[in-house]
Amino acid sequence: MNFYKASLRTRIFLSMIFLVIGASILIAMVTIFQYREETKDYHRERLLRKETAIRENIDYVLKNTTYPVKTDRIPLIFKNKIYEIKDIHKLELFLYDLDGNLLISSKASFVKDSIRGNMSAHALKGIKNSVEKHFIEKYKENNFNYQSSFSYITDDKFKPIAILNLPYLEDDEFLNKELKEYLVRLGGAYLLMLLFAIILAYFLSKNITQSLNDISEKITETRLDKRNKKILTDVSSQELATLVNAYNGMIDELESSAAQLATNEREAAWREMAKQVAHEIKNPLTPMRLTVQSFERKFDPNDPNIHKKLNEYSTSLIQQIDTMSSIASAFSTYAQMPAQQDETLNVVKITKLALDIFTESYIYFTSEQDEVITKFDRTQLIRVITNLIKNSIQSIREKQPENPKIEVTVFEENNLAVITVSDNGIGISEENKTKVFEPKFTTKTSGMGLGLAMVKKIMEAYEGDITLISYEGNGTTFKVRIPIK
């Protein structure tokens, strides 16, 4: 699930849960890190304390020995004392000469370098290069972690005579047990906190989003073509109250603007319609006037062809009258909204029926399905198809291609009944694509440009749509999509 596409209530709820879980994980990580650091400090300090105590014991032995305090005498001086020191401090110890060779140890086989019996080159180099003349080496052996301390043993004149090595085992069993117990207690506390956060997040998100849902429903119902209701929901949040007041103010302005806009649109539509009707009617009136004037000027009762001329005169007038009648019918049909006489239709069958009135042999119909059922007005659907076919026929006649072709296809897609009408006619230019569905727009020498405008109007009335793909000179494809109800 995409977090940013989820509802506000879900995001608030998940955010609080993630915050508590994230905080608990972060604190657990910080606790473990702090524990490890403290454990390191504890082991280091403990080793240094033991080293200090053992060095004091060694210095005491050196001060009270009867042997000369020299490197080669170290094994004799500590022959028995080294075991006493080990027993007192509970720690193994090793004494090396200044070149790293083993002099004496508290056990026969020591932990590190048990085969060579000498200091590692790394440790020897480390103590020699150390400013403090002290070096600690860390290593792991038999799955146990060790710290090995190296420091110089000096005589009474502070001259180094040997190197003291103390291998220290980092025993974390007790500390790990304490850490686990602490994390269990911490986990229990955070589990209770998480439960509390879930309950709090649920009621908080519900309280916040309830008012937003009420506002959202009102905004969704807002329409330009109806009277909208104001939001009367009581809100405690100042931000939501500001939003509600802004919406209510917008509703007042919208009603005023919608009324004014509707008035202006009606007036503009009637002016445009009157202008178009007047223009279309004038076209046949002019030849009618000329015909009457010509007949009046040339009328001769004694002319033997008077009956023939009168018949021609009458025929011309009747043709112009029929033209005016078709103009009036076209405007009447366009001005009339499609009647919402819905019936369950098989789009495949109705499309075939609409194509039967055309005699052109280059019209082809295909459908992979026998039935695509939806609710639509039969007459209006036939009108849509016939207008698109007539438009394609006109486009082909203008181009006159060698192999004229109109393909009509019906199929179902995404719960939509789809009808496509494709032709290889003259096509539509880029500048005209946005105008083809406008009333009175036409590129033909005849016609009033209402066919495609009527198709678009019908589709909008039935919550469908019509789109086109066209390239000038390469034909056009119209795509009609009708919701399947």
pLDDT of residue 28: 80
Please tell me the total number of residues recorded for the chain in this structure.
485
pLDDT of residue 441: 47
Q: Is 337 helix (H, G, I), strand (E, B) or coil?
A: coil
Who contacts 271 (Cβ-Cβ below 8 Å, separation ≥6)?
none
pLDDT of residue 363: 92
**In the chain, which stretches have pLDDT less than 70?**
1-9, 108-116, 172-175, 207-212, 214-216, 218, 221-240, 258-259, 261-291, 294-296, 298-300, 313, 316, 319-320, 322-340, 439-450
pLDDT of residue 481: 93
Helix, strand, coil percentages for the chain (3-state, nearest 5): 55, 15, 30
Kindly report the number of other CB atoms within 10 A of residue 241's CB atom: 14
pLDDT of residue 276: 58
Who contacts 290 (Cβ-Cβ below 8 Å, separation ≥6)?
none
Give helix 451-461 / helix 378-399 axis angle, nearest 10°: 150
Please give the model's pTM, rounded to 2 decimal places.
Answer: 0.37
Rounded CA-CA distance 364/352 in Å is 10
- Write down all domains in the chain, each with its CATH number in brackets: 3-176 (3.30.450.20), 238-335 (no CATH), 343-483 (3.30.565.10)
